[in-house]
Chain A
Amino acid sequence: MPKEKAIIRSDISKARWTIIEMKKNWVGYVMILPFFLLFFIFTVVPVLLSVILSFTTFNLLEFPTLIYFDNYIRLLLDDDIFLLAIKNTLVFASITGPGSYLLSLFFAWFINELRPKIRAIVTVMFYAPSISGSVYLIWNIFFSSDQYGFANAWLLKLNLIPKPILWFQDEKYIFGLIVAVALWTSLGASFLTFIAGFQVVNQELYEAGAVDGVKNRWQELWFITLPTMRPQMMLGAILAITGSFGFGGHITALVGFPSPNYVAHTIMHHLDDYGGARFEMGYASAIATILFFMMIGANLLVTKMLRKVGS
């Protein structure tokens, strides 16, 4: 075959280059196609639709009418509860997000030090709360509002309280309790990926590090282990963000909907309140859109922070 001059990127237009590249790698594209179609139809399209709907008033039963930015104006300027929900969500996310992330990371690190068999057992133990679906509901039994609930019965017995406390119905306790539940259930998928991440670190790097002057385990962790498992940490971060922003379901199951005096009302709840109870899908879509951008923002922030790891 006669040797041709290789085409380089600057010779042709961007679009043409892309098409040529696509033709060259068509196998890859075909392989990704099934996932891409599903992702596009069931994720990208609904998200776009939701953004479009946020500019309308739509009650689920009648055809939407366009109202431009009214939903956003009302949402940001005339909805006290939404502001409350943003506050709750941010507070909740900023405690449980990093909290659960660090918990997962450190537990994974500690467990990684164990012998393989014990490691497997301990992993299952820590992972159990998050695989067994609604097991967090045992908190409901433990902190039952009944005078015979565990916590109440003990406190009454010790004469610390005069009458049963409505744990999940009392503004004073709700937030603390749900943060505790969130952290307890947080050792989920990200925890597993971290464990996997620790396993794939190339052992030779540690040797090289020792030669290069790594002094202690902390430096090993910071300069070698964590930078190597950055992809896993990225996934863990995304899971932590989604987890902390979308914890609404657990809260509803424990506290009821809406929470007393909106004390645990998150953006997810607000969305559901308007979408489900009040049939205002346009408004709910506007909330969803804002939530969407908030999460992208959080994501950018985390990506930036992760880049600092090991430097």
Chain B
Amino acid sequence: MTKVKKISTRLLVGMLAFTLLATGALYDAGGYAASALVESVGGSDSLVRTSLAEIKNILTSVVYSDYLKLHADVKDGETEIQLALADYISDETTATVNAINGYGGADGIVLLIGDDGKISWNVDIEEDALYSIFIEYYSGNIEVADDEGNIVSEGKSTSIERMVLIDNKVPFKEARSIVLTKEWADEYTHVDKNGKPILDENGKKTFYKSNTQEFIDLILKYENNIDGSERLFLKDSNGNEIRPDKALLSTWTDSFLYDSTGYYNNPLKFYFKKGANLLTLQTIKEPMAVKKIVLMKSEAIPTYDEYLEQNANASDYDGDKVVMIQAEYPTIVSERTIYQLNDRSSTITIPQDAALIRLNQIGGDKWQYVGQWIEWVIDVPEDGFYNIIPRSKQNIYDGSYVSRRIYIDGSVPFEEASYLRFSFSDNWQTKPLGDGSREFKFYLEKGKRTIRLEVVLGDMAEILSIVENSLTQINAHYRKILMITGPKPDEYRDYRFERLIPDVVKGLKAQAEILNEVSDKLRQITGDKGEHTATLNKIAVYLERMGTYPVTIAGSMSTLKDYLGALGTWLTSTQNQPLYLDYICIQSVNADPPVAEPGFFKSLWGEIQKFFMSFFADYNSIGTLAEGITSADVEAVAIEVWTATSREQAQIIRALVDDNFSAKYNIPVTVKLVVGGTLLPATLAGTGPDVSMGNGPGDPVNYAIRSAVKSLNTTTGNTNIGYNFNDLSQWADHPIYSSFIDDVDSFDVAKQRFAPATMTPITLYGETYALPENMSFSMMFYRKDIFVELGIDVPNTWDDFYDIIYTLQANMLDIGFPAGTAGSMILMYQQNDTLFGMGDYDRYMDLYYKNGYTDESLKDLGYTYTDIEGNLKPKTDGMKINLDSDISLASFKEVCQLFTMYDFPVVYSFPNRFRQGTMPLAIMDYTSYNQLIVFAPEIKGLWEFTPLPGTLSPDGSINNTTLGSISTMIMMRSVTDENAFSAWTYMQWWTSAQVQSAYGNEMVALLGPSAKQNTANLEALENMAWSKDEYDNLRAQFNAVQCVPEFPGSYIIGRYANFAFLGVYNDGDEPVEKLLSYIIDINNELTRKRREFGLPTAEDFAAFEKNLSDKQ
């Protein structure tokens, strides 16, 4: 008996141990993502390559401050010169230009300039002069047509970006990117007191814009309502406030040309020589409509003291009225990403609710980039001086402050108004606007005044600009040293830098001085020695030493590199100027500012309320089902959609479903945000979704062969396999579907939205199991400036590529290349080889027939399928791996040699090395673009991505195929015959261009420019905020993208291919031998898996052949 007890004890202990083990083994699910790929044949000839000469014209290292010094003796031009717009020089103009009289309500000629090139004018100047450029342009979207009336260029609702050239040269660095912002207003719904929409006689919602008189009247009417009972926002069924949409304003607006980085507070001045000058605007982004371009002097702005003097006879307002405008009611904003937010951190944020979402603040990290502004209207009770007091919070940058510039009725009242400071605090603050040393009072006239706050760098502008220049210089020096020493400098060797590169040695010293000066200045501004000055000082000390004792250069390189990285990060983060606003009020100069934060007990009570309300408020339901749907019919067609993305994305999806899908199709959709990995267990348990979004590329086929996913185009008629959404007529008589069936695209129509290659991984033996959502592929990233410096051209073919390897490596620069089969498959597909054994159907059918099979018996066994053309085909694709083909082995060997003989790095941090310039060329996924845009603004305009180098085909054309990877959307087996069509309606709706564009825009709006979606929908991709060049390159590569198909057992390939590459790299094995040694293992696994699913295998056919030869 004791023995039994002992054994049972041990069993229990064992089980306990097992539980510990099982829970402890958390695996990285990403590790299994099978390799993703597609199939289409193509090579593009529409390569867009910028020539070396073109790049040279654009690159200029003159910084604006130096440019001004250079022309210090030139006076500002006094006479205004208005360009005769219509007389543009057609020889120097490559953009499509439409001249239209009276466009957009303007008087006179308006030029509509396409985004397909440049436009130039002649400017005659009487005397050498510096001029600022003033421009009147159109904020709305425009269309530019060519002579035949075809629209060649269409506005995409993004900011206009242009490069300014004078006499075909970029005068200074900052002129490479001039941004003109557009104007956006909120589109409010007419609502009643409860936030429910007021419908018109047709039962539709009615809207009004925030820049209209109606809106201004309303906010002034509700001005003193602080308990949140009188609100303009629409509310959802739970009572939460819903953000209004943004609408681009079709109005004329004007601006001087400013520096888009914000380093210079005044309008840029351009030097024009006496006589004829050629002024050119070169497109970077967006077409633009121009009414007027004037060269003029920007007016001097008085200082605060002068301002007070000018208004000396005005008195301070001494009434006790406090006029308050809620910050969440702006009239116009500069970008659609600036929108109302919910603050729950303070109980006195107006308005506040313990349970529900109140849009009670604006700004934050949506309002942090230079040039973004928000405008409000405020009603001033009488003429006089006022304090302007915002309730603001900057809780992101510790020890630092953010800056704003204020415009009152469109103009900056005095110089110091460009340097308003908001210092760091965890709490809300109510301080009158000031520049840190004193608080300002503003003279306001009675009536409605507009107040605009714009993000500027303030006092930091100069410092940042100097540091950025310095960083660029030091990076250049660093690269020059690296070209001598290589990436691993030998610190015991005297390279004699002072003889080889005396400029660099001197330059290092000069930069040390500059950084020391900047650090002193920074200390004066922020008032203390902080982390910031420490970074600068450390680098200065290093540079000083390196400049004074060149022998120490080699030993200091790696430390210097780390410091430069730190400096770059500091620069990027300091440029961001986030600020939250709750309200803005104006009041008497002598009155105390409003309370900024509640007292302890009020705060405590608020928190207690929030705590208890949290038991009742349902924060998780992202929305509710469409209202008024009760009939059983409708419930039968309802669908459930799962997405395993982030909460933000799920919210956007829900909003799109509510606004767009439900309005168009009368089908209830439940969107659920789930944790990854729940899909399969839920499907097994029968509680899974009807549609699952954001799946991996291999999921559709992998789930489908286990009959968990429905085919979308099956012609078998078997609903266990799927449905045929090519023939929608079968649903035409359905009581609910019939009303909108004309708005639903069939499968074949929907398919046209994507690159043909995307169908490859989601199609198995004639059945397509998914629709693609996102798609990405490798492209070639390169640094223009370094290519110019080294005098090398961007490679078009692999031969060119090999040519420049030499130059780059001779200068100790690295190249990023995908390792192993990821790289070699690109070469394979460029030579029209495939990863799997494909085709050869006749031979296999022949073998079947000779071994006594008939079409009928093959069909019954499931060994054949009928393809689109109606031919009977054996399911033999993917029986064998094709990595042992001659082309494949040669490609693999070539790629391995890049790493073994040419020493390419296998592991590297691409964005870091690319921004430093030590890796000026890399083949990377094109979505790295997002990272670079946000992470490395200091190299803006100095890099580009283009299609891959290609393989020269025998016929002389270049095949620059790249391999793509997709994410997919699938219809799960949980659908019923009743609601399958609803699921399809949803899928084709979601992947449509309109919805994908809206989704992309929302994502950027919500998460910033780094969230640009790599949608698979070609039309939607085009509609995103790409520059013309970027899109052209992307499009060129899109034409030559292929995907690798997915077959049972695919997962094994990447694994063994990786082993092979590692064997070659680590142990110096022979590439071909090593790869061949794994072929048998791969084929065995493919065969084993195919057996599991009753598919024909290579071994079957080997047996057939043996049979036949035995008979003979």
Contacts and interface: CB of A to CB of B under 8 A. Distances in A.
Interface residues of B, number: 54
Interface string B517-547: 0000000000000000000000000000000
A14 B1043 CA distance: 70
Nearest 8 Cβ contacts at the A-B interface: A246-B21, A257-B31, A145-B907, A296-B14, A61-B706, A170-B1066, A61-B708, A242-B17
Instruction: Find the residue from B11, B24, B706, B908 having the highest chain A CB count within 10 A.
Output: B24
Given A260-B1062, A276-B27, A296-B14, A166 B19 contact: no
Contact of B702 (A14, A241, A279): A279
Interface of A: 14, 39, 42-44, 47, 57, 59-62, 144-148, 153, 156-157, 159, 163-164, 166, 169-172, 238-239, 241-242, 245-246, 248-249, 252-253, 256-258, 260-261, 268, 272, 276-279, 291-292, 295-296, 299-300, 303
A239 B1059 CA distance: 33
Contacts of A253: 28
Interface string B666-677: 000000000000
Contacts of B1062: 166, 169-171, 260-261
Nearest to A257: B31
B907 A242 contact: no
Nearest to A57: B1092
Given A239-B20, A276-B27, 16 more contacts: A61-B708, A147-B488, A156-B488, A163-B903, A166-B1066, A170-B1062, A242-B18, A246-B25, A252-B28, A260-B1063, A272-B25, A276-B29, A277-B1051, A278-B1051, A295-B18, A299-B13
B321 interface: no
Contact of A238 (B16, B487, B1058): B16
B810 interface: no
Given A61-B680, A166-B906, A157 B24 contact: no
B117 to A, nearest CB: 42
A277 B909 CA distance: 28
B10 interface: yes
Contacts of A278: 1051, 1089
Contacts of A14: 1
B21, B681, B684: most-surrounded residue (chain A CB, <10 A):
B21
A14 B681 CA distance: 43
A245 B21 contact: yes
A146 B1058 CA distance: 18
A190 B271 CA distance: 76
Nearest to A163: B903
Contacts, number: 135
Contacts of A171: 1062, 1066-1067
19 contacts: A60-B706, A147-B905, A147-B908, A164-B906, A166-B1066, A169-B906, A169-B1066, A242-B21, A246-B25, A248-B25, A249-B25, A256-B31, A260-B1063, A261-B1062, A261-B1063, A277-B32, A277-B34, A296-B14, A299-B17
A258 B1052 CA distance: 10
B15 interface: yes
A263 to B, nearest CB: 10
Contacts of A166: 906-907, 1062, 1065-1066
B26 interface: yes
A157 B21 CA distance: 42
A246 B20 contact: yes
B75 interface: no
Interface in B908-954: 908-909
Interface string B1052-1092: 00010011001101110000000000000000000001001
A301 to B, nearest CB: 11
Contacts of B702: 279
B274 to A, nearest CB: 54
A146 B28 contact: no
Contact of A157 (B14, B15, B488, B708): B488
A239 B1066 CA distance: 36
B683 interface: yes
B684 A257 contact: no
A61 B707 contact: yes
Contacts of B908: 146-147
A303 B909 contact: no
B905 A47 contact: no
Contacts of A249: 24-27
A264 B20 CA distance: 21
B32 A276 contact: yes
B67 interface: no
Given A257-B28, A276-B32, A43 B13 contact: no
B703 interface: yes
B194 interface: no
